[in-house]
C-alpha cells in the first residue's frame, strides 16, 4: 500500500514501512498544492507539523485509511473530516514526554538563573552585571501545572525530586480516580489558586475551544511579580498580547515559549525584544533521540492499521465502529 509523507521522516521509520511491504512516497514540499495530487492514491499519511490535513486534502484520497501523527497533538488534522470519511487518526502520546519535560526544565532554569541575559552581558564587557541582576533559586519554590497529562506528570516528578518544589496542578478533566494516585506528589487546585501561588507556571494542555487563551490578562494579574510562565503546548493557549503587556509592565517576571501564536513569530513582535523572554522554535521534542522515537512510532502505528490491527492512541475512536474496521484486532 502507499504511505504518503508530506515531509521527510527518519530513515529508520521509512525502512520499517518498506520492510512491511509498503511504498513510501515523499512530497517534494509540504504545501497543500503539492500534497493534494499525491493524496489520491495514498492509503496512509504519516504527518508531521508542516501541513494541516484539511477536509479538502482528506477527501481527495480514494482509499485513505489512517493519518498517523508523529507528534502528540491533532490540531493540524481535521479530525471531523477524517471521522466523516471513516479514517483513523492516531498519535504518539507519551513518546515525546521526557524530551519535552527536559525542555521545560531547561527553560525554567535559564530564566530563573537569567542565563541568556548574563551571557549577553559578559559578551558585551558588562561583567559587573553579576552584582546588578541576581538570579533566583528554584529549590523549595512552587510550580503550577496547567494540565497534568504525561508531560505534566514528568515535570511534576522532576521538580519535586530534584528541586524539592511544591507542585500544584489544575486539570478539571482528569478523573478523580487518577487524581487520587497523585496526591503524594501534587495538590490539585483551581486555576485562580494556581496563578496566585506559583513561582513557575508550565502549560501542558491541548489547544481546544476551552483552552484557547486560558492564560490572559485576568490570570497574569493574579500572578506573582517574579512568576515565570512556560509554554510547550500550543501558542494560542496563552493570550500573547496580554502576555506582552504583563511582561512590559513587569506584572510577571519572565516567559519561556517553545510555541507562539504565529510560527514563526512576526519579526516585529515585541516578544523578540524583551530580555526576560526565552524563545525556541517549537523544538521541545526535536532531540536526536526523540525524532527517531516519534517517526518510528508513527510508522509502527501505520503498519498496524494497514495490517489489520487496532493502533493505540486513536483520536476518533468512534470511527472504529464503522463496517470497514470490524476486522481490526487489538495490537
Q: Are residues 91 and 103 in the same domain?
A: no
Strand partners, 44: 3, 66
CA separation, residue 16 to residues 21, 88, 93, 298, 299 (Å) = 9, 20, 20, 11, 7
Would you write out the chain's pLDDT as a tens digit for each of its 331 residues? 999 999 999 999 999 999 999 999 999 999 999 999 999 999 999 999 899 999 999 999 999 999 999 988 888 999 999 999 999 999 988 899 999 999 999 999 999 999 999 999 999 999 999 988 789 999 999 999 999 999 999 999 999 999 999 999 999 999 999 999 999 999 999 999 999 999 999 999 999 999 999 999 999 999 999 999 999 999 999 999 999 999 999 999 999 999 999 999 999 999 999 999 999 999 999 999 999 999 999 999 999 999 999 998 999 999 999 999 988 876 5
Residues 256 and 297 in one domain: no
> Which of 136, 166, 213, 282 is flagged as catalytic?
282
Q: Which helix H or strand E contains 18, and what residues bound it?
A: helix 11-19
Distance CA 21, CA 2 (A): 9
Same domain, 87 and 53: yes
Grid cell 492564560 in the structure block, residue? 215
Domain that residue 294 falls in: 2-95+288-330
Helix, strand or coil, per DSSP, at residue 166: strand
Q: Are residues 118 and 237 in the same domain?
A: yes
Q: Domain end: 279, 297, 320, which one?
A: 279
Nearest to 7 by CA among 43, 40, 52, 41: 52
CATH number at residue 211: 3.40.50.720
- Whether residues 46 and 185 share a domain: the answer is no
Q: 16 an active-site residue?
A: no
pTM: 0.87
CA-to-CA separations, 32 to 26, 35, 36, 71, 261, in angstroms, rounded: 14, 5, 6, 20, 21
Under DSSP, is residue 155 helix (H, G, I), strand (E, B) or coil? helix
Q: How many domains does the chain have?
A: 2
Tell me whether residue 263 is one of the annotated catalytic residues.
yes
Q: Are residues 254 and 211 in the same domain?
A: yes
| Catalytic, out of 16, 103, 234, 293 | 234
Of 18, 80, 248, 263, catalytic: 263
Say if residue 257 is preceded by a cis peptide, omega within 30 of 0: no
- 10 catalytic? Reply is no
74 & 167 share domain: no
Looking at the fold, whether 120 and 89 belong to one and the same domain comes out as no
Shared domain for 230 and 167, answered yes or no, is: yes
* 144 plus 200 within the same structural domain: yes
Amino acid at each position: 500500500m502507499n504511505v504518503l509523507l508530506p515531509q521527510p521522516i527518519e530513515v529508520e521509520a521509512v525502512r520499517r514501512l518498506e520492510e512491511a511491504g509498503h511504498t513510501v512516497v515523499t512530497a517534494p514540499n509540504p504545501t497543500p498544492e503539492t500534497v493534494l495530487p499525491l493524496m489520491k492514491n495514498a492509503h496512509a499519511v504519516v504527518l508531521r507539523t508542516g501541513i494541516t490535513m484539511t477536509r479538502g486534502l482528506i477527501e481527495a484520497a480514494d482509499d485513505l485509511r489512517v493519518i498517523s501523527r508523529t507528534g502528540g497533538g491533532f490540531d493540524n488534522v481535521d479530525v471531523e473530516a477524517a471521522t466523516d470519511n471513516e479514517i483513523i487518526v492516531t498519535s504518539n502520546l507519551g513518546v515525546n514526554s521526557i524530551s519535552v519535560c527536559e525542555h521545560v526544565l531547561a527553560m525554567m532554569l535559564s530564566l530563573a538563573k537569567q542565563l541568556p541575559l548574563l551571557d549577553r552581558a559578559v559578551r558585551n564587557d558588562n561583567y559587573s552585571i553579576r552584582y546588578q541582576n541576581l538570579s533566583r533559586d528554584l529549590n523549595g519554590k512552587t510550580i503550577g501545572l496547567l494540565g497534568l497529562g504525561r508531560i505534566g506528570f514528568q515535570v511534576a516528578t522532576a521538580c519535586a525530586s530534584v528541586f524539592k518544589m511544591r507542585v500544584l496542578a489544575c486539570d478539571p478533566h482528569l478523573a478523580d480516580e487518577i487524581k487520587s494516585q497523585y496526591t503524594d506528589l501534587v495538590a490539585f487546585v483551581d486555576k485562580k489558586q494556581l496563578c496566585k501561588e506559583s513561582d513557575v507556571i508550565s502549560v501542558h494542555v491541548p489547544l481546544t475551544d476551552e483552552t484557547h487563551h486560558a492564560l490572559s490578562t485576568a490570570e497574569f494579574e493574579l500572578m506573582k511579580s517574579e512568576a515565570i510562565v512556560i509554554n510547550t503546548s500550543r501558542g494560542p493557549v496563552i493570550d500573547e498580547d496580554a502576555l506582552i503587556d504583563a511582561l512590559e509592565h513587569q506584572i510577571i517576571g519572565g516567559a519561556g515559549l517553545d510555541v507562539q501564536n504565529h510560527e514563526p513569530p512576526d519579526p516585529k513582535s515585541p516578544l523578540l525584544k524583551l530580555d526576560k523572554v526565552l524563545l525556541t522554535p517549537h523544538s521541545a521534542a526535536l532531540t536526536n533521540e526523540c525524532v527517531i522515537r516519534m517517526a518510528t512510532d508513527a510508522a509502527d502505528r501505520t503498519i498496524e492499521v494497514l495490517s489489520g490491527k487496532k493502533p493505540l492512541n486513536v483520536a476518533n475512536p468512534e470511527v472504529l465502529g464503522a463496517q470497514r474496521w470490524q476486522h481490526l484486532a487489538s495490537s
